Amino acid sequence: MALDIGPTPTSAPSTPVGAATSETRLARATLIALALGFVGLFLLLPLGTVFIEAFRKGAGEFLAALGDPETFSAILLTLTVAGIAVPLNLVFGVAAAWAIAKFEFKGKAFLTTLIDLPFSVSPVISGLVFVLLFGANSALGPILQSYGVQILFAVPGLVLATVFVTFPFVARELIPLMQEQGTSDEEAARSLGATGWQTFWHVTLPNIKWGLLYGVLLCNARAMGEFGAVSVVSGHIRGETNTMPLQVEILYNEYNFVAAFAVAALLALLALATLVLKTALELRYSDEIAASRRH
Amino acid sequence: MEVRVQNIRKEFGRYPALEDVSLDIRSGELVALLGPSGSGKTTLLRLIAGLESPTEGTIFFGDEDASKKSVQQRNIGFVFQHYALFRHMTVLDNVSFGLNVRPANRRPQAAEIRRRALDLLELVQLSGLEKRYPAQLSGGQRQRVALARAMAVEPNVLLLDEPFGALDAQVRKELRKWLREIHDRTGHTTVFVTHDQEEALELADRVVVMSKGAIEQVGTPDDIYDHPVSPFVYGFIGQSNCLDVTLSRGEIWFEDRPIGLRAASEPDGPATLYFRPHDIELVDGCGCLAGLVTAGRRVAGTRHLEVSLGRTQPPVEIELPPERASSTDHSRVAFRPTRWKLYRGAGDVARGSVQAQSSGIELAPTGT
Ligand SMILES: Nc1ncnc2c1ncn2[C@@H]1O[C@H](COP(=O)(O)OP(=O)(O)OP(=O)(O)O)[C@@H](O)[C@H]1O
Ligand SMILES: [Mg+2]
């Protein structure tokens, strides 16, 4: 039809544009459906199951399961271990990221690779490393034992294994951030007379605080949920060295499903709380986060 | 405060970024470090600041050896190329930072700090913006905050690395004038880095021209422009033409003829002739440079002509008033440099060769 009246600039391009949008609309719908389906099938369904199983026999049973002395001590132990491991990794992570991002030194690339080691090594092997280091047949173990220091099958071993496994979270989050920010802010602070500590406290820390917070939250989630490495060094002493994930396994193996799922639900709840906290902070301080990312 | 840089050498790894650099900066002076990219301007500035330490050499602040002092102890004001404002602090907090971090015995009262910061913001014409964050400012405003922040500590010397590098031409021009005014009012000894020669010549009391990690020339803008000491400076500052010429019995020959310029005391041999496009006069007949006009363009009040002096020679550029140039388009022109300079030394242009003859108005002997 356009042939008769010659090219009309307004009508001619309308068809391809329409086709293009309808195509993107279809693609968009497919992608959204796919993403939602995946999230539903692999995330929400299992998580929902955990809570349904936990409350299968009612809230009373649920609370009773958590009140069990062994379970209760597992909860306390998990909080203790995370409470020690996370602050340690906060300090280590900041120090490592600082060294890598702000200084030039030999072996920097090697150090960067080393930081990733806990991610690339299976957690079971991480645990075994500590057994080899501090076990009865090792060089260190008997010496420490003679001074009455118990590493393996005790809280120190659990903390060491957890620190090892969760080490990369804070450093990994901070290194790219600090590298991107460069050293000029610190140089500016020093040129204005600030001491090293003042520079860190007033300039570096505020610049990295959001990255640091994410790193700490992720580190914490993993510290509370770690199974493999902790399982190797724990020795599974009931009421003493079982953390929550280990306690879940024990209860499950004893066919005590309600109790197993109750602990699992609590663990999941802690993880969810972490996520909610992160999102809430992001919403609350979105302006500031955007500003700190900008130049 | 007076700053003296003595025989400074700086290596990064094995690579020498600065070689045997010495420079005296007088108290209250506004000095520009000018040079092409990679010539070591930033490195020299950072060495003065104490952000880098020299491989060899010393730096004096007044009579004190500052080389051993840390950047904190030197009490300098440094303005970074990309400002490096603290993004989580307001403008006021940025400006007060240097005073706030002082040890208690040297720190003014909070009210006094605030008053001084507000005064400085007024000086840099940012009154009323003290509660903003750096992200809420324009580039030019950030630049001025950075300057106010550096001045707040009452520095011995103010160091600026390409202060206007990231701004557009219009804002640059304004800030340039404004920086000069601020300098005249506050009297800080100031060193700034630039690779914009116009900026350096217009703004500075003295210009330091650098090339390949060394200082080529130090002088007033007039000195630098009118009496460049080396081919590098001649070529780098302003426009210039260079021609390969030969000296024979005190006369300058281009290709197979004398061009009517004399350098009487010079021995025979090859040399390089430098002259600026506007330092020429049109002449009739021979005993001069002559060629075909290949292109012409109007630049503000004058006309620039590109002249081909021969197939084996690069074209030279000359500048004429438009009314004289109109008749010469696509025709032959004959001209002679009125101010020129001769350099010798086997084409070693960048190194700064022996200067054979001081420049001046050399009139050709008549009837050659
Ligand atoms: N931290 C560094 N490590 C290694 N080499 C460096 C370092 N800083 C500068 N250089 C080298 O020193 C030389 C001089 O650098 P500098 O930054 O002083 O140049 P510049 O004159 O400021 O150049 P520009 O105009 O591009 O900023 C360059 O060749 C550069 O590669
Ligand atoms: Mg530079």
The pLDDT tens digits for A118-174 are: 989 999 998 998 888 888 888 888 888 888 888 888 899 999 999 999 999 999 999
Q: Are residues A37 and A67 in the same domain?
A: no
Which of residues A37, A54, A71 is at a domain's end? A54
Q: Which residues surround ligand 2, an ion (CB under 5 A)?
A: B 42
Q: Are residues A230 and A282 in the same domain?
A: yes
Query: How many domains does the structure of chain A reveal?
Result: 2
- The confidence score (pLDDT) of residue A186 equals 93
In a domain, A188, yes or no: yes
Nearest chain B CA: its distance from A210 CA (Å): 12
Q: Classify residue B102 as left (phi > 0), alpha (psi -120 to 50) or beta.
A: beta
Counting ligands in written order, the one closest to the CA of B12 is 1
- The confidence score (pLDDT) of residue A160 equals 93
- The confidence score (pLDDT) of residue B132 equals 92
Ligand 1: list residues with CB < 6 Å.
B 12, 15, 17, 35, 37-43, 195
- The confidence score (pLDDT) of residue B319 equals 87
Q: Strands B189-194 and B30-34: what pairing?
A: parallel
DSSP A152: T
Where do the domains of chain B lie, and which CATH numbers do they carry?
3-226 (3.40.50.300), 239-358 (2.40.50.140)
- The confidence score (pLDDT) of residue B113 equals 94
- Residues sharing a CB contact under 8 Å with residue A75, sequence separation 6 or more, in sequence order: A66, A244, A263, A266
Check CB contact of A212 with chain B, cutoff 8 Å. no
**Which residue's entry shows tokens 């605030």?**
B114
- The confidence score (pLDDT) of residue B302 equals 83
In a domain, A194, yes or no: yes
**Does residue A295 carry a pLDDT above 70?**
no
Task: Look at B97 and A192 and tell me if their CB atoms are within 8 Å.
Answer: yes
Nearest chain B CA: its distance from A287 CA (Å): 11
**Using an 8 Å Cβ cutoff, are A127 and A158 in contact?**
no
In a domain, A271, yes or no: yes
* Interior angle at CA A262, CA A258 and CA A263, nearest 5: 125
Q: Are residues A281 and A209 in the same domain?
A: yes
- The confidence score (pLDDT) of residue B163 equals 87
Q: Which one of A209-218, B309-318, B320-329 scores highest in mean pLDDT?
A: A209-218
- The confidence score (pLDDT) of residue B329 equals 59
**H helices within chain A, ranges in order?**
2-5, 14-39, 45-54, 58-67, 69-102, 108-120, 123-134, 140-146, 155-181, 184-191, 196-199, 205-225, 228-234, 244-253, 257-284, 286-293
For helices A205-225 and A69-102, the axis angle rounded to 10 degrees is 140
Q: Are residues A44 and A89 in the same domain?
A: no
pTM of this prediction? 0.78
Burial (0-12, 13-18, 19+ Cβ within 10 Å), A228: middle
- Choose the weakest-confidence range: A44-53, A111-120, A192-201, B167-176: B167-176
Q: Are residues A49 and A136 in the same domain?
A: no
**Does residue B352 carry a pLDDT above 50?**
no
As for the ipTM of the complex, it is: 0.78
- The confidence score (pLDDT) of residue A291 equals 64
Q: Which helix (H) or strand (E) holds B249?
A: none
Q: Are residues A186 and A47 in the same domain?
A: no
**Does residue B303 carry a pLDDT above 70?**
yes
- The confidence score (pLDDT) of residue B358 equals 39
Q: Are residues A156 and A28 in the same domain?
A: no
pLDDT band of residue A73 (cuts 50, 70, 90) is very high
pLDDT band of residue B330 (cuts 50, 70, 90) is low
More confident call, B248 vs A91: A91
DSSP B331: S
Amino acid letter, residue B3: V
**Does residue B354 carry a pLDDT above 60?**
no
Strands (E) across B132-184 are located at 157-161
Counting ligands in written order, the one closest to the CA of B14 is 1
In a domain, A49, yes or no: yes
**Does residue A226 carry a pLDDT above 60?**
yes
**Does residue B365 carry a pLDDT above 80?**
no
Q: Are residues A42 and A101 in the same domain?
A: no
Q: Are residues A194 and A168 in the same domain?
A: yes
Tell me phi and psi for residue A195, to 5 degrees. -75, 170
Task: Look at A192 and B88 and tell me if their CB atoms are within 8 Å.
Answer: no
Q: How many residues does chain B have?
A: 368
In a domain, A124, yes or no: yes
Structure tokens, B227: 């009496």
- The confidence score (pLDDT) of residue B348 equals 36
For residue A114, the tally of other CB atoms under 10 A from its CB is 13
The model's pLDDT over A99-130, given as tens digits with 9 standing for 90+, comes to: 998 888 888 889 888 888 898 999 999 899 88
Across chain A, what does the average pLDDT equal?
A: 86
More confident call, B251 vs A172: A172
DSSP B106: G
Domain extent for A200: 58-293
**Does residue A33 carry a pLDDT above 90?**
yes
**H helices within A182-285, ranges in order?**
184-191, 196-199, 205-225, 228-234, 244-253, 257-284
Structure tokens, A29: 């719908």
What is the C-alpha to C-alpha distance for residues B336 and B275, in angstroms, rounded to an integer? Answer: 10
In a domain, A9, yes or no: no
Q: Are residues A206 and A263 in the same domain?
A: yes
- The confidence score (pLDDT) of residue B249 equals 83
Considering only CB atoms, A193 lies closest to which of B80, B87, B102, namely B102
Check CB contact of A188 with chain B, cutoff 8 Å. yes
In a domain, A42, yes or no: yes
- Residue with CA nearest ligand 1 atom 27: B37
**Using an 8 Å Cβ cutoff, are A92 and A73 in contact?**
no
Strand partners, B270: B246
- The confidence score (pLDDT) of residue B314 equals 83
**Mean pLDDT value of segment B221-228:** 89
CA dihedral over A103, A202, A180, A212, signed as positive or negative: positive
DSSP B162: S
- Residue with CA nearest ligand 1 atom 11: B17
- Report the CATH number that the domain containing residue A229 is assigned in CATH: 1.10.3720.10
Task: With beta carbons under 8 A apart, name residues in chain A contacting B98.
Answer: 192-194
More confident call, A282 vs A122: A122
What is the C-alpha to C-alpha distance for residues B28 and B25, in angstroms, rounded to an integer? Answer: 9
Q: Are residues A178 and A280 in the same domain?
A: yes
In a domain, A230, yes or no: yes
- The confidence score (pLDDT) of residue A7 equals 43
**Buried residues in A39-64 as b, exposed as e (16+ CB within 10 A):** eeeeeeeeeeebbebbbeeeeeebee
**Using an 8 Å Cβ cutoff, are B199 and B172 in contact?**
yes
Q: Are residues A171 and A216 in the same domain?
A: yes
